Amino acid sequence: MRFLKMDMRAATVAAALTASFGLAAAPADAKVEGDTIILGAAMSLTGKYSTNGIDTQNGYELAVDMINKNGGVKVGGKSYKFKVAYYDDESTPARGAQLAERLINQDGVKYMLGPYSSGLTKAIAPVTEKYKIPMIEAEGASRSLFTQGYRYMFAVLSTSEQYLASSVALAAELAEASGKKASDVKVAMAFENDPFSLDVRAGVVEDAKKHGMNIVIDDKLPRDLADMTSTLTKVKALKPDLLVISGHAKGAVTAGRQISEMKLDVPMIAMTHCESAKITENFGAGPMEGILCPTQWSETLSYKDDLFGTAGEYDALFKKTYPSYKTVPYQAAQASAALQVWKDAFERANSFDTEALRDAIAATDMETFYGRIKFAPEGNNIAKPMVLRQIQGGEYLVVAPTKWASSKVQHPRQPKY
Amino acid sequence: MLDNISILFQAPIFAVDLLIQGLLIGGIFVLAAYGLALVWGVMNVKNLAQGELVILGGYLAYQATLWGIHPIVALPVAFVLMFCFGWVIYLVIIKRVVDRDMFTSLLATFGLSLLIQQSLNLVFGPEVRIAEAGFGTLILGDLAIPVIRIVSLGLAAVLAVGIILFMRNSRMGQAIRATAQDPRAARVLGINTDRVYAFTYALNAAICGSAGVLVAMIWNIQPYYGLVHSIRSFIIVTAAGLGNLPGVIIAGFGLGVWENYAGFVFGAEFAIAAVVALLVGVLMVRLFQLYRVRQVVR
Amino acid sequence: MSARSLDLKIYAFLIAVGIIGPLLVPSITSQMAVMWLMVLMAVTWDMTGGQMGYNSLGNITFFGLGMYASAVVQIGLVYDVMEYTASFGAIKVDFTVSQYWTGLVLGIGAGGAVATVFALVVGPFMLGLRGPYFAIGTLGLAVAVAELISGWRYVGGGSGISMPIFPGEAGTGSIVFYVMFFVLAIVCHMVIRAVYRTRFGLAINAIRDDEDKAEAMGIHTTRYKVMAWAISAFFMGMAGAIFGNMSGFIEPLEVAFPTATFGIFMVAMALLGGKGTLWGPVLGAILFHIVKEVTWTELLGWQWVALGAIIILNIVYFQQGILGWAQDRWPALFGVTVDEKMSRTGQAEAAE
């Protein structure tokens, strides 16, 4: 890594020098060096996204390693290796956009991988679009990314409005099964006031409206989130049938602790980031029993491919390669899947031309350990569903959608405070 | 907003609930604010790093839980460690800004707060952390009160009483009070004011650190959460006035209650805005009081 | 060399650098645009902080307000703002080229105007606060405005607003915004320099030296203070409007009201260069920005720790800044005449 960074710095200096001597011509042609295909990525290695940024980087690196070890990428009868050039974007969008320009303009990168988070992807996508450089991203879930008419950006993950919408559908299903009307369901919402969570909220609002549900609480949580007492007091007063919460790990930590402290008896609670907040470890399996958590991917699913094998085998390989992980974050899994899409596209296009590659990516339809990948014309993956897991006895068990469910949903939830 | 108020009238039990939770959390605000009143009153330093000292204490509690030590046990340890830390900070930074104009101390401590924040971020990462005490909840009819909040209020009270007794009766406490009244006279009478200043700042750090341990047990901590704690301390001290201990206590509890009610009525997204707006409001009220004094003089 | 001709030479030098820099090394255009922004921030901060003695920690408020004002104007010209923000960026508005440019010009104007009006309205209250209370109050003001805007749904709340996309070829956008920042920074400095040379400059210096005496001498202190703050606000508001367009995406806490980064950078830069001097903030900003750009990414997270350390060192050990130090050392160079005898008696008095 360090070595690669030095390389890049030298290239930058060289580019700057050429430019300053007025010899500036086309940027250095570094897309393919010998038998190596260079992909570029701005990555949050420091700053507030650093943990997830490093997860993503590990996912990229694991896939690069596996692909290179298993025959590489075959283009025109020759086998090539992948290599990723990273810059640290400090978790700030403005920096990310600058670095994308630098990768494309100064370092001559022609194939991009996405950064971590929707915010950074939002900043970088206009740049790659401008230079007509294809980018496969794995971590930007915001729906607004796919309404801008971007031609060169593709995402392997499900968009964020689907995160908790499935819990609304589940609530409607359960209400009807018990002989009530879906429109009788009262929904309470607590979302952090940031782009990601508000996107998740939009999906919930849309689905709740579709079922004619009544939204009784709609609180936005501040970014310096440490206390939800006032929101949860409101929940106790209004007794909703469904409580949905999203606010990254800090939202899940705060909610988990205070749900347990206030002994909330809402029959159905759904929230994001349960796993990264480690709510069962922190607050005990009993109080957290029955909470629903959406996830992009789970190691218990029956997806598989030729490179990594099943989802479970990927899980084992990742833990073996990076022993510091006790559970594999889905962020890493989807990052690995992005490289599988690149390999597939290079081999089908059988060319290094960015236009041919773009068309090949757009036509992708493949099974991976991460799920099926097939892109809508807007660039998002429409073939892979979000799955909803429920905490039952301290384990995360898949309960929805029915096709992948490994166990029955527990309703109403039976926490042991 | 109106329907939220009507809930409070229809089901007054929730109004009581918010009141109790607010009072319980207010105790912690009082601690940090008392520390600020101390350094402000004695050495005229406006410590903007107050919140970061709180958060630092919180991380000590978190680290203790990682080693399997109960956070309550970590409280006295954090007190001592933070006392030493405060002394070092005094020697390196504060000592050199005590005699300068007031903006200097403000900005220097702001630099200090950045330094602490970012170092915490490097050491512990940007995720939120907690120290779980595992005390359960006290159920009184419809009220559910987390035991840890009651315990922490008790601990805050013990700490506060201890410090007040110390200030009243000990030699150092008397020296601190004397220096606050007139540093020159204190020096003439043979008090080593430099040592008094160091002790005062260290004591403040220790108080904040203890408050931080309680914060980590009740709420959660993150490297960047300090600013709101600093602002809270400034509101309380500005509202109460320097050297007005009963005022600090009342203002602290009042702020805790205000935060909870504001979050309930305006929605959680305006809870922080409500706190900060209160700061600006308090400053304005003080300003108008000043105008009135001026008119009397005229 | 008179101070005036020296000033002209420095202007000529800066303008030359501003034109030649991006021509020689086109890839650093956006970094240089931010450098001019930094210059502008430091210079406007110094007007109240250095020359008037009112150390604000909340000037970033004007920056953010200008940014939001321009966003509302630019989008509102073509589309319904409420509908646009309610869709979380799902609506893509196509601006024609002429719509874009009218919007941009009006938006920048609105940015300056809204920030100025805001300064005129809150100024009389905030500037009644003295010393550290002013600093704390303005910091509180900045945080409060940021929090209120992130709760305001009309402007998108916490999910922010996407700005109209710059029409035209790849790369021309950064040149246009570069030119805007460059011109704005130079004009801003010229205006402020001209202001300093009038009675106004003397009045705000008098307020810094002793506000009560200035008031006793019949200077309408409040009026001068508010005017000075409003001038800062005007330029900060326009800069915010341009920065919002350059970023392409506005979000309240990190892009529009970055209290802990830009908000503090401007103070640190003015102090580094020497507060209360004409060229100190410019020098400080340029040095600070260059050092930051060159070393930043190499430090991997330690850069922020280093920033805190720099502020502390600067404040505690080197408070007069580079030019302040030079001015003490070689007063003649700055057009300051020192009467040896007077200054000696002055020192004797101070020692008393």
C347 domain residue, yes or no: no
**Residue-wise pLDDT tens digits, A62-117:** 999 999 999 889 988 889 999 999 988 878 777 788 788 888 887 889 999 999 98
Residues facing C138 on adjacent strands? none
Q: Considering only the beta carbons, identify the residue of C253, C297, C301 that sits closest to A223.
A: C253
Domain around A60: 2-158+300-374
CB B94 within 8 A of CB B196: no
CA distance C265 to chain A (A): 16
Q: Given pLDDT bands bounded at 50, 70 and 90, which one contains residue B33?
A: very high
Domain around B183: 2-297
Q: Considering only the beta carbons, identify the residue of B270, B280, B291 that sits closest to C137.
A: B280
Both A6 and A130 in one domain: the answer is yes
- Residues in chain A within 8 Å Cβ distance of B225: 224, 226
Question: How many domains, chain C?
Answer: 1
pLDDT score at C170: 62
CA distance C132 to chain B (A): 6
CA distance C164 to chain B (A): 28
pLDDT score at C90: 62
**Average pLDDT for A331-345:** 93
- Using the predicted structure, report yes or no on whether residue B295 has a pLDDT greater than 80: no
CB A309 within 8 A of CB A344: no
- Residues in chain B within 8 Å Cβ distance of C315: 97, 104, 107-108, 111
Question: How many domains, chain B?
Answer: 1
- Residues in chain B within 8 Å Cβ distance of C264: 110, 114
pLDDT score at B46: 86
Both A241 and A390 in one domain: the answer is yes
- Residues in chain C within 8 Å Cβ distance of A141: none
**Residue-wise pLDDT tens digits, A24-49:** 333 444 567 778 999 999 998 877 78
Whichever domain contains B237, its CATH number is 1.10.3470
CB A157 within 8 A of CB A334: yes
Residue of C nearest to A14 (CA): C25
Cβ of A237 within 8 Å of Cβ of B11? The answer is yes
First to last CA, chain C: 37
Mutation to test the C interface, candidates A95, A129, A148, most C Cβ within 10 Å: A148
Residue of C nearest to A47 (CA): C301
Q: Considering only the beta carbons, identify the residue of A222, A229, A250 that sits closest to B269.
A: A222
Q: Considering only the beta carbons, identify the residue of A19, A46, A199 that sits closest to C300.
A: A46
Name the 3-class secondary structure at C90: coil
pLDDT score at B164: 87
CA atoms within 13 A on the CB side of C225: 27
pLDDT score at A22: 34
Distances (CA, A) of A173 to A202, A203, A212, A243: 20, 17, 13, 16
A90 domain residue, yes or no: yes
Residue of C nearest to B44 (CA): C132
Both A275 and A171 in one domain: the answer is yes
Cβ of B219 within 8 Å of Cβ of A254? The answer is yes
Both A255 and A330 in one domain: the answer is no
A412 domain residue, yes or no: no
A110 domain residue, yes or no: yes
A409 domain residue, yes or no: no
C137 domain residue, yes or no: yes
pLDDT score at C336: 61
CB A191 within 8 A of CB A198: yes
pLDDT score at A6: 40
pLDDT score at A19: 38
C346 domain residue, yes or no: no
- Residues in chain B within 8 Å Cβ distance of C143: 227, 231, 272, 276
Q: Considering only the beta carbons, identify the residue of C26, C31, C249 that sits closest to A19.
A: C26
**Residue-wise pLDDT tens digits, B106-148:** 888 888 998 898 889 888 888 888 888 878 788 877 788 888 8
- What does the CA dihedral A392, A397, A401, A405 come to, rounded to 10 degrees? -110
A379 domain residue, yes or no: no
How far is the C-alpha of C149 from the C-alpha of B262, rounded, in Å? 17
CA distance B236 to chain C (A): 13
- Using the predicted structure, report yes or no on whether residue C93 has a pLDDT greater than 90: no
Both A397 and A272 in one domain: the answer is yes
C65 domain residue, yes or no: yes
- What subunits touch chain C, counting only 3 or more CB pairs under 8 A? A, B
What sign for the dihedral angle of Cα C9, C14, C18, C24? positive
C337 domain residue, yes or no: no
Residue of A nearest to B149 (CA): A261
Judged by average pLDDT, the poorest of B264-268, C42-46, C58-62, C191-195 is B264-268
Both A42 and A181 in one domain: the answer is no
**Average pLDDT for A204-219:** 89
Both A204 and A218 in one domain: the answer is yes
A380 domain residue, yes or no: no
A 184-223 → B contacts, CB under 8 A:
190, 193, 218-222
C342 domain residue, yes or no: no
Whichever domain contains A305, its CATH number is 3.40.50.2300
pLDDT score at A4: 41
Name the 3-class secondary structure at C185: helix
Nearest C-alpha neighbor of C55 from the set B229, B106, B43: B106
Domain around C29: 3-319
Looking at the complex, does the CB of residue C121 fall below 8 Å from at least one CB of chain B?
A: no
Q: Which element (helix H / strand E) includes A189?
A: strand A186-192
Both A249 and A395 in one domain: the answer is yes
Both A139 and A260 in one domain: the answer is no
A410 domain residue, yes or no: no
Q: Considering only the beta carbons, identify the residue of B107, B121, B286 that sits closest to C315.
A: B107
pLDDT score at A97: 81
- Using the predicted structure, report yes or no on whether residue C110 has a pLDDT greater than 90: yes
Both A260 and A391 in one domain: the answer is yes
Cβ of B122 within 8 Å of Cβ of C301? The answer is yes
Q: Considering only the beta carbons, identify the residue of C24, C27, C296 that sits closest to A106.
A: C27
**Average pLDDT for A172-189:** 87
